[in-house]
Amino acid sequence: MKYAAAILGLIGLSTAVALPADDPERILPPNWTFEIEHLKGPGCPDQGNEGSDGRITRPTYGSNTVDGSEIYYWFIAYPWMRVDLAEGPSHTWCEATIKYTEYKDTEKTEEGEDYRLRLHKNGTRGIMTYDLDAGCRCTGTLPTRLPTTKMYIVDTITLTGPLQSPQQHSKEHSSDVSYPPELIPQPECGSGTFSFHTELWVKGGEGQTGIVASETVYSKDTVGVQYYGTQQGFSYDWEKCAS
């Protein structure tokens, strides 16, 4: 997965932008959800509970293309996923197990088994802030473990300084990786789980600035500085299962 030092988030997005009538038929279930089932690692110590900085590892939002290619993205925000050469750590990681549920109806009253989810059709995206001196290098990797298999799909995003995000506002980076069709289908139709083992490094010389994090907000009356979370976006689409 690609994600320049940032990572992934998700939320339920079942409403898509209508395409022109002459575009290909859309292939997608009536509704679906992504939920975090389990977290492990120093990059997500909250384990789904509110951390001391006021934010949790969580799904954020989803999106899709409107050019007929039907590539979808879902994002997860990791408030604890940040690296800093001066104040540490310079390496961190989080393994997130995601529960995917397919529904037969838009109201989510009944689970379905009519579609097969396919991951990483077109790589990974990362949304983060960064400040890297010349020679500093940040690398993010996202090995994805598919359910009921031992197969991993690995995508990487690398940022090399000098590089800064404008006024500490998040920027998005993409890996633009395309995977062969035989690598991306989930083995079964309907609901299932998959895992992301996301790692983030920053390397540089002594005294250099090398920071990758997320946008922050300051709340004087509550917890002080809060990190929104570096975001990792994974791509996916569906194929129709045989009747």
Q: Are strands 83-84 and 210-213 parallel, antiparallel or unpaired?
A: antiparallel
Q: Report if residue 2 sits inside a domain.
A: no
Q: Measured at the alpha carbon of residue 185, what is the angle toward residues 180 and 191, in degrees to the nearest 5?
A: 160
Give the DSSP per-residue string, 28-60: --SEEEEEEEEEESTT-TTTTS--TTS---EEE
Q: Is residue 11 part of a domain?
A: no
**Comparison of pLDDT for 48 and 163, the residue scoring more:** 163
5 close to 158: Cβ distance less than 8 angstroms: no
Tell me, what's the pLDDT at 43? 92
The pLDDT tens digits for 43-77 are 998 865 654 456 889 988 887 766 666 778 899 99
- Reply yes or no on whether the pLDDT at 127 is more than 50: yes
111 within some domain: yes
Q: Which domain holds residue 216?
A: 32-240
Chain-centroid distance of CA 14 in Å reads 17
- CA gap 63, 17 in Å, rounded: 10
Q: Which of 232, 238, 154 minimizes the C-alpha distance to 190?
A: 238
Whether 24 is covered by a domain: the verdict is no
174-192 per-position pLDDT tens digit: 876 666 555 555 567 899 8
Distance, CA of 243 to CA of 241 (rounded, Å): 6
Max mean pLDDT among 4-18, 85-99, 151-165 falls in 85-99
Between 80 and 221, name the one with better pLDDT: 80
> For position 73, what pLDDT does the model report?
86
For residue 228, being part of any structural domain is answered with yes
Tell me the pLDDT band of 124, cut-offs 50, 70 and 90. confident
Spatial distance between the Cα atoms of 75 and 172, rounded to a whole number of angstroms: 12
Could you tell me if residue 10 is inside a domain? no
Distance CA 116, CA 187 (A): 8
- For the chain, helix (H) and strand (E) counts, in that order, are 0, 17
Number of domains forming the structure of the chain: 1
Q: What is the pLDDT of residue 4?
A: 29
Phi then psi for 49, rounded to 5 degrees?
-105, 155
Mean pLDDT of 9-15: 28
Residues contacting 21, CB < 8 A, separation 6+: none
Residues 6+ apart with CB under 8 A from 166: none
**pLDDT confidence bin for 111, thresholds 50/70/90:** very high
26 inside domain: no
Q: Is residue 54 part of a domain?
A: yes
